[in-house]
Structure 1
Amino acid sequence: MKHEVGISWKEDMAFEAEVNGHKIMLDADEKVGGKNLGPRPKPFMLTALAGCTAMDVISILKKMRVTPDNFDVKVSGELSEEHPKVYTSMHITYQFWGEDLPMEKLEKAINLSQDRYCGVSAIYKKALPITSSIEVNPESK
């Protein structure tokens, strides 16, 4: 199996990507010649990790008959100071809301995602450390 994406230059620093039939605009900040018409490319690395592990976790929890009221995943990445600026580490925060959410099942679903199913996590772990934390019913939503 092979995946392929393409981007087309629109103007200045703006490019339109097509991914799985969906169009996404990428652009640079105004101070470097863009018009801020869309997100920068690098944060999509964080988005890819968040989406991959979130889909795994919710799928695994459904099989365990655990259904949170709400579920969010946040990924932060530490950038190096020098060019090329790269992520040197990432942290995943899994946030669950609801009643009767057994911590052992939440942890098991997350561990299965991180250690077995999430291909994005698997490849990133070859390049940088990834840590995670779990929050159940956090104040902010």
Structure 2
Amino acid sequence: MKITLDRVNENFHFKLKNERGHIVDVDSRAEFGGSDLGASPMELVLMGVAGCSAIDMISILKKQRQEITSFRAEVEGERVQVGEAKPFKDIHIVFYLEGPINEDKAVRAAQLSFEKYCSVSKTLEPTATIHYKVVLNNKSL
């Protein structure tokens, strides 16, 4: 896996491209000297956790022939000062699923993602605790 980064402006706006040609804008917020023209690197980390676990969960539920009519997630990260850096300490994810999905299968899909399959969460595991919750058809499980 390889990513290339090109600086776009005199501040912190970058275009990052993967080997398949997909481009992502990265920048810093204005209060930190950026132009706010893209997601911050730490926001991308949270996006990575959300995307990785969503792919896992949908894949698992599809294999179990569960019909997902809607899938959404919200992710929040709490950071802690460690020297000059502020890594994530806790990450909270809520998955919102809709459809005729078995409750136990929905919860098990999330559990399998974080305990076994999601490479992003496994990468963060040594430094951040990931908390997750599944809400199925407006019912918290």
> Normalising to structure 2: TM-score of the pair?
0.88
Alignment-derived partner of residue 91 in structure 2: 90
Instruction: Give yes or no for the alignment of 1:130 onto 2:130.
Output: yes
Show structure 2 runs of 5+ residues with no match: none
Alignment-derived partner of residue 41 in structure 1: 41
Alignment-derived partner of residue 18 in structure 1: 17
In structure 1, C-alpha distance between the alignment counterparts of 2:128 and 2:135, rounded to whole Å = 23
Shifted more, 65-74 versus 29-38: the winner is 29-38
In structure 2, C-alpha distance between the alignment counterparts of 1:135 and 1:29, rounded to whole Å = 32
Alignment-derived partner of residue 72 in structure 2: 72
Partner of 2:115, secondary structure, is helix
For 1:17, the aligned partner's letter is L
In structure 2, C-alpha distance between the alignment counterparts of 1:132 and 1:21, rounded to whole Å = 32
The answer to whether the 8 A contact 2:110-2:134 is kept is no
Q: How many residues align?
A: 136
Question: What is the identity percentage for the equivalent residue pairs of Structure 1 and Structure 2?
Answer: 29
Show structure 1 runs of 5+ residues with no match: none
1:137 Cα offset (Å): 2.1
Quote the RMSD (CA, aligned, Å). Answer: 1.6
- Runs of 4 or more, structure 1, over 6 Å off, are none
> Normalising to structure 1: TM-score of the pair?
0.88
1:81 Cα offset (Å): 4.6
In structure 1, C-alpha distance between the alignment counterparts of 2:17 and 2:54, rounded to whole Å = 22
